[in-house]
Amino acid sequence: MFTFIAKRLVQSILVMLTVALIAFSLFRYVGDPINNMVGQDTSLEERVELKERLGLNDSFLVQFARFAGNAARGNFGFSYQHRRPVSDLIAERLPATLELSIVSAFLAMAIGIPMGVYTAIRRNSWLAHSFMTLSLVGISLPTFLIGILLILVFGVMLRWLPTFGRGDVVQLGWWSTGLLTASGLKSLIMPSITLALFQMTLIMRLVRSEMLEVLRTDFVKFARARGLAERYVNFVVALKNTMVPVITITGLQLGSIIAFAIITESVFQWPGMGLLFIQAVGNVDIPIMAAYLVLIAFFFVVINLIVDMLYVVVDPRLRVDSAGGH
Amino acid sequence: MIGKTLKALLVGTTILAGASAAQAETFRWAFQGDAQTLDPHGLFETFTLGFQGNIYEGLVKRNDKMEMVGALAESWENIEPTVWRFKLRPGVKFHNGNDFTAEDVVFSVNRLKTEGSDMKVVATLIKEAKVVDDLTVDIITPTPNPILPNQFEIFYIMDKQWAEENNTTEATNVKGGDEGNHANLNANGTGPFIVKSRQTGVKTELTRNPDYWDKDMRSNVTEAIFTPISQDATRVAALLSGNVDLAYPVPVQDWGRLDSAEGVRPLAGPEARTIFLGFDQLRDELTASNVKGKNPFKDVRVRKAFFQAINIDAIKEKVMRGASTPTGLMVAPQINGYTEAMNERLPYDVEAAKKLMAEAGYADGFEVTMDCPNDRYVNDEKICQAAAAMLARINVKVDLLAQTKSKYFGKVLAQNGYDTSFFLLGWTPSTFDSHNVISSLIACRGGEDNVGSFNLGGYCNPKINELTLKIQSETDQAKRQAMIDEVFQIHKDEVGHIPLHQQPLSWGVSDKVEVVQRPDNQFDLRYAVVKK
């Protein structure tokens, strides 16, 4: 097990390097950062000197090598816009993104799985049909539209919820949390629903189709024949057997939730990493863009690793296999 | 017993809370970006400097009518052609309690000149600053400078002692190398507001400076919270939902919504920013056109034809929703040196334009690529699209290249060798004086006098460069105005650029507050009033 994890972590470094390499080969197309860093009256000489000092005249391979070398020493450089170390900025914004993503993922699962089970068991009830119709809306509407609609209804018309930001936060060491204040929780509602909606419908549809498969299998019929309670058959025997694909998808989706929080964060001005990134793109803040992309790549690798490990927990057959050695 | 104490405590806190609620006037506002630094010498950019202006102050400032008035200086006088004497305001204290003296002014002048400073254009106006006594400073200029005070509004004064204690005697350097410069995230000014907390790009909280020297300040705001909100829709929603009291800019398209919504209103006014078109008149062959071996824009008839083909009223009505101010000059009425009589445009006349094109030998027109930003000015891309459609009527086929500002400026500015044949640009002179426009946009570029750096098309008339130098140092206002007029007349006759309009300022304001909208799009908390 240990070698397995170690191997995967080594692989993650390769993934991150590849992502950084691709990123740096693209940065030349995002525009010139200099004009965003100086005022309109700054002389040409100073602009040219600044570009040279930032190493922007070097080829992308040289820039990439410099970035990789510094990053290996834990130095992600200095943001052009904020004039602060990128690592500080990311540490400041990471809690906001993680809280939003985890709450969204939790919402998606807590609502999506029971809905999926329900629509599988009571396939023909009107409620199941309306769930299925609703899920189409969740899949087809783009995230920003859902966000804007929620803002319009609950923020502007009803005025129940704040339309932007994170509310008051409490500092727990370096971690800032909005989960402990009323305004923080209120601010979390709309962004987390916006972010969760797509995942929720995805999980629901996945669970439904897997359940329908499993319910047809012989061992479920046997379980029923043994006289086990219907609830036990549905939620323990059948549901457990649908979990492998659900965990795979949900796990990978958690990565996407973190990565695609960008849209939700910019609609709600949620002060997380995604917002930091999107602002960095607008201002051609290369150090932030590079660090963010590498970090997201790392998240994906780690989440994949956790997913692989969860299989073993859920599916006993995999445990037997690994005990046998290969 | 315990219960009683608790009750008393509770009553006590309620009374306290009640009392502070009666006095606390919170003002919340949102802009599309954040101030990039709190360092007053770190970035010469309108919003950043305007935001800092609530915390720091210069020797002079502009009031709500844009008149120059004393801030940290009570009076000033040009005692010799190259010496300006500033009498400082007595009894002013910095936020940390230190006294404001002439030493701080000299220190700030020197800090302007340090490597990281982006205010070097102000620094070059000053040869030396000398302490005369505690409350008198002499500013010695390299050449006579009649408008020095106008150029000093955004030169903010920092506390020498504070800077030395916090190791921030040099301006925050955007090039890196001084990570954690104290003044980047912290501030200690003399202004009406004190920074209470700041998270860059997220939120900045200000509290009122109880010891502010100007007891007549109009504002009753005790606490001000600033949030940058980058998405237009989110910013407008924040205003509509009452989460902020002022949001800007608001898309011109949303004015109707603000008008019909309760409790908010759009606040529009003419901005001092002039939007114009320009052409490459320097190269012998255009880089982005099908005309080979020659440059059609070198012919004044072609430039004039372009001008006359633009239907500015249609742009105003259709693109700008009636809110722009068409202009014939490269400066707005608010700018020193503007002359109303010269603001006439060449008439819109497609037939005349076609005739001019035929005379120049381009009756069948030609193709040219137009560079245009799509997120820098109000409806910039739409203006370019409209212009392209209008030019099609004189057979010019415009290939529009509209891109985000980083890419646009990266292409057309000096760093990239002015790679453009035809472009749209906007300009607000930072000094609010015509000289800045002439020396940045109109004077020949590439000379040793270092002017014309934003003259992207390379329009050139050496006479203008001569006049630029004279305007800079002429102290007689009438003579100076005559020279400015002369420059604008030459530029107009030669159609160096096509001025289009002054774009509108577009703010959204809650009915609960009163604010003053400055024509340079700055917001000054000194004039913000929360209604009771």
The residues pairing with B513 across neighbouring beta strands, listed in sequence order, are: B530
Query: How far is A83 from chain B, CA to nearest CA, in Å?
Result: 6
Band (pLDDT 50/70/90 cuts) for residue B7 is: very low
Q: Which of A42, A66, A80, A83 to mutate to test the interface with B (most CBs of B within 10 A)?
A: A83
Q: Per residue of chain A (326 residues), what is the pLDDT tens digit?
A: 678 778 878 888 888 899 989 988 888 788 888 888 888 778 888 888 888 888 888 888 898 998 888 888 888 888 888 888 899 999 999 999 999 999 999 999 999 999 998 999 888 899 999 998 888 888 888 888 999 999 999 999 999 999 999 988 888 888 989 999 999 999 999 999 999 998 899 999 999 999 999 888 888 888 888 888 888 888 888 888 888 888 888 888 888 888 878 999 999 999 999 999 998 988 889 999 999 999 998 888 888 888 888 877 777 776 654 444 44
The residues pairing with A143 across neighbouring beta strands, listed in sequence order, are: none
Residues of chain A neighbouring B238 (CB-CB closer than 8 A): 163-164, 269
Q: What is the pLDDT of residue B6?
A: 44
Partner residue opposite B199 with nearest CB, options A35, A92, A156 = A92
Q: Which residues of A59-84 are buried (b: 16+ CB within 10 A; e: fewer)?
A: eeeebbeebbeebeeeebbbbbbbbb
Does any CB of chain B come closer than 8 Å to the CB of residue A43?
yes
Q: Which residue has the higher pLDDT, A44 or B238?
A: B238
pLDDT tens per residue across span B353-406: 999 999 999 999 999 999 999 988 999 999 999 999 999 999 999 999 999 888
Its sign, for the CA torsion A279, A71, A102, A259, is: positive
Full-model pTM: 0.87
pLDDT tens per residue across span B18-51: 334 446 899 999 999 899 899 999 888 889 999 9
Partner residue opposite B229 with nearest CB, options A44, A166, A269 = A269
For A:1-40, CB contacts with B below 8 A are 30-40
Residues of chain B neighbouring A31 (CB-CB closer than 8 A): 403-410
Partner residue opposite B174 with nearest CB, options A80, A148, A276 = A80
Its sign, for the CA torsion A275, A277, A278, A283, is: positive
Q: Are A275 and A266 in contact (CB under 8 A)?
A: yes
pLDDT tens per residue across span B110-157: 999 988 888 888 898 899 999 999 999 999 999 888 889 888 989 999
Cβ-defined contact of B409 to A165 (cutoff 8 Å): no
Query: How far is A100 from chain B, CA to nearest CA, in Å?
Result: 16
Cβ-defined contact of B413 to A279 (cutoff 8 Å): no
Q: What is the pLDDT of residue B197?
A: 93
ipTM: 0.85
Give the chain A residue whose CA is nearest to the CA of B31: A269
What percentage of chain B reaches a pLDDT higher than 70?
A: 95
In A141-216, which ranges are continuous DSSP H helix? 143-150, 182-215
Q: Which of A53, A89, A144, A269 to mutate to test the interface with B (most CBs of B within 10 A)?
A: A269
Q: What is the pLDDT of residue A318?
A: 67
Query: How far is A36 from chain B, CA to nearest CA, in Å?
Result: 7
Partner residue opposite A39 with nearest CB, options B43, B176, B180 = B43
pLDDT tens per residue across span B182-218: 898 999 999 999 999 999 889 999 999 999 999 999 9
pLDDT tens per residue across span B275-294: 999 999 999 999 989 999 99
Q: What is the pLDDT of residue B1?
A: 40
Q: Are B434 and B484 in contact (CB under 8 A)?
A: yes
Cβ-defined contact of B238 to A164 (cutoff 8 Å): yes
Residues of chain A neighbouring B199 (CB-CB closer than 8 A): 92, 271
Q: Which residue has the higher pLDDT, B243 or B175?
A: B243
Cβ-defined contact of A41 to B121 (cutoff 8 Å): yes
Q: Which of A28, A29, A41 to mutate to test the interface with B (most CBs of B within 10 A)?
A: A41
Give the single-character DSSP code of B336: B
Its sign, for the CA torsion B289, B295, B296, B300, is: positive
Residues of chain B neighbouring A169 (CB-CB closer than 8 A): none
What percentage of chain B reaches a pLDDT higher than 90?
A: 73
Q: What is the pLDDT of residue B176?
A: 61
Q: What is the pLDDT of residue B178?
A: 57
Q: Which of B200, B260, B425 to mutate to test the interface with A (most CBs of A within 10 A)?
A: B200
- DSSP track, B64-119: TTS-EEESSEEEEEEEETTEEEEEEPTT-B-TTSPBP-HHHHHHHHHHHTSTT-S-
For A:278-307, CB contacts with B below 8 A are 278-279, 282-284
Band (pLDDT 50/70/90 cuts) for residue B76 is: very high
